[in-house]
Amino acid sequence: MPTPRTARPAAEDAPESLAGTRYEVEIGPVAHGGHCVARHEGRVLFVRHGLPGERAVVEVTDGTATSRFLRADVVEVLDASEDRVTPPCPFAGPGRCGGCDWQHAAPAAQRRLKAAVVAEQLRRLAGLDLDVAVEAVAGPPGLPEGLGWRTRVQFAVDPATGAAGLRKHRSHDVEVVDACAIAAPGVEELGVESRDWTGVATVEAVAATGSLDRAVVVTPAATDGRLPIVELERPVSVFRADDRGRTKRVHGRAAVREVAAGRTWRVSGAGFWQVHPAAADTLVAAVLDGLEPKPGDLALDLYCGVGLFAGAIADRLADGDTVIGVESSREAIEDAKHNLRDVPGARFEVGKVDRVLTRPGFLRRADLVVLDPPRAGAGKTVAERIARLTPRRIAYVACDPAALARDLKYFAELGFRTKGVRAFDLFPNTHHVECVAILEPAPRGKKKG
């Protein structure tokens, strides 16, 4: 006899929302995601806008009387941490812009918080007990530390007013802004925040590093909507994006030129490039230090984008040595081929990494592998397929410490040990942190850590 369906509870039987309820709490340790952990009467609260050791009044933003945990914002600080500062942006704070998590913490304190998160994720998910320090990275000269660094900003548009802004935390609501404190000067020069964007869903503003190229990528609010005439404060290339992320040039240059690692890189449309102006050089240096390429090596650059790491490695190899890039974006692969057209041994494959690695006749071995996957990480299947290539060294570039730690555990089970992890503060005032892990084959008989 089939099991009867359980009737949905009537609205009046739904658990009582605790949103708006206030508690006085002691704020505990930092947790992954830009918040700290507190407790009230045995229940866990994930608290934003607080710092470890503070006593504060928090207001619940999400959760019910039966929730396992609650989300909350600090609305009144009773005993402040010595690391607390006044946020430099007037749009930061409870219920406001969700882009920055740590503007209320001094820059050095932010790095300590991020280091604690990275270390905790590595310990809990990968079983690695490592001392982690998040390294400071210099931002634009002449600006306060942690401000004016973001060279790519995606603005949301308030559908009611056509004004540009940024999303509130865990919300589709738009916080309309007249300036973004972490946006690079080249982004702010475009004047996106002062324009009426009626009929547009999002506007990504791009200010290239090392060139004067500027671009905006406009996504209409409706798939059949007309793109408004875009007139900004300075010459700019304009691209139209569809709901699948594909872009089409409207006017101006077909790409922006980024300068890093001794080359000028063509990045078309909304193609991926690191958003901190020093990120490309910083990560290339860390990858090269870890891999130690030498003439004769065969190198593999997975999730290669426009070829940044492939090009940097190729410069350390002999003429004709093979460097292979793999990337799912056909547009990025075309850029990579253009960018490394002077490297005889460079070749590129279009496709999902896990599928390309098992194509008949693709590769049986590789001396060096670098991978820079999306935030979700590479995953077990990709780790297994890399392990079959028996590389001498692997450099794993990651923007999410949880995904990195999970994948390092997979590699450990496949016979690779983590030689070291470096972390870089390439996203100041946010909870994000970029890591570079270096792996090598574990000594025989040791398959963990």
pLDDT digits (tens, 9 = 90+) for 144-164: 999 999 999 999 999 999 999
Closest CA to 154 of 101, 192, 186: 192
Q: Is 289 annotated as a binding residue?
A: no
pLDDT of 341 strictly over 80: yes
Q: Looking at residue 4, what is its pLDDT?
A: 41
CATH code: domain of residue 22 = 2.40.50.140
**Domain end point (choices 252, 276, 306):** 252
274 is in an annotated binding site: yes
**262, pLDDT greater than 70:** yes
**Cα dihedral 207, 209, 212, 218 in deg (nearest 10):** -20
Determine the structural domain holding residue 384 and report its residue range. 260-441
What pLDDT shows up at residue 174?
Answer: 98
Output the domain CATH number for residue 341: 3.40.50.150
- Domain's final residue, options 56, 84, 112: 84
448 found inside a domain? no
C-alpha closest to that of 404 among 130, 153, 138, 113: 130
What gap in Å lies between CA 202 and CA 227, rounded to an integer? Answer: 12
* Residue with token string 């400071």: 136
pLDDT digits (tens, 9 = 90+) for 108-147: 999 999 999 999 999 999 999 999 999 999 999 999 999 9
Q: How confident is the model at residue 269 (pLDDT cuts 50, 70, 90)?
A: confident
Longest dimension (CA), the chain: 74
Do 417 and 357 belong together in one domain?
A: yes
**Domain assignment of residue 121, yes or no:** no
Across 164-189, average pLDDT:
97
Closest CA to 392 of 369, 412, 415, 367: 367
Residue 229, pLDDT score: 74
Residue 386 has pLDDT above 50, yes or no: yes
Is residue 7 pLDDT above 60, yes or no? no
Residue 191 has pLDDT above 90, yes or no: yes
Q: Where are the beta strands (DSSP E) in 99-213?
A: 134-135, 152-157, 164-167, 174-176, 200-207
Instruction: Please say whether the beta carbons of 420 and 395 come within 8 A.
Output: no
- 170 lies in a domain? yes
Please check whether residues 336 and 400 belong to one and the same domain.
yes
Does the annotation flag 372 for ligand binding? yes
**DSSP letters spanning 381-423:** HHHHHHHTT--SEEEEEES-HHHHHHHHHHHHHTTEEEEEEEE
Q: Which residue, 32, 55, 84, sits at the end of a domain?
A: 84
Task: Give one DSSP letter per residue of 224-292, joined into a string.
Answer: TPPPPP---SS--EEEEE-TTS-EEEEES-SEEEEEETTEEEEEETT----SSTTHHHHHHHHHHHHH-
In this prediction, residues 281-303 reach a mean pLDDT of 98
Q: Where in the sequence numbering do the catalytic residues fall?
A: 399
> How many domains, in total, are found in the chain?
3
